[in-house]
Amino acid sequence: MKLVLVTAVEEYQKEVLELFKNANIENLSSSGIDGYKNSSSVLMTSSWFPGEKFGNESRLFFSFAEDKNIDTLFNLIKEFNSNLETNNPLKAVVVPIEKFI
């Protein structure tokens, strides 16, 4: 069993939930997060408060899952990202679990 973490912009929440379902990962959790990029943008330099950084509304999805389901999920995420027209790909990582109850 491993912990899989996926981040996505808020607009992809429905699609990410479908990817987890298609990977047979039925139990998962999610949380709202702010995503940041460390590059200057026209929006930031033209704002009233140019020293402020503005985050994108994003989601963090996580689940304890078996290797075979995670492999399927990663393949689905790669396919999803290859068809994107934006610069906001899904990001995923896997963390091994040494102990659990």
Query: Is 71 part of any domain?
Result: yes
Query: Is 101 part of any domain?
Result: no
Alpha carbon distance 30, 45 (integer Å): 32
| Residue 50, domain CATH | 3.30.70.120
13 is in which domain, residue-wise?
A: 2-96
Question: What does DSSP assign to residue 41?
Answer: -
Number of domains in the chain: 1
Alpha carbon distance 62, 97 (integer Å): 13
Tell me the β-bridge partners of 71.
none
Alpha carbon distance 30, 32 (integer Å): 7
Query: Is 56 part of any domain?
Result: yes
Query: Is 35 part of any domain?
Result: yes
Query: Is 61 part of any domain?
Result: yes
pTM of the model: 0.81
Local confidence pLDDT in tens for the 101 residues of the chain = 899 999 999 999 999 999 999 999 999 999 999 877 666 554 445 445 555 555 678 999 999 999 999 999 999 999 999 999 888 999 999 998 888 88
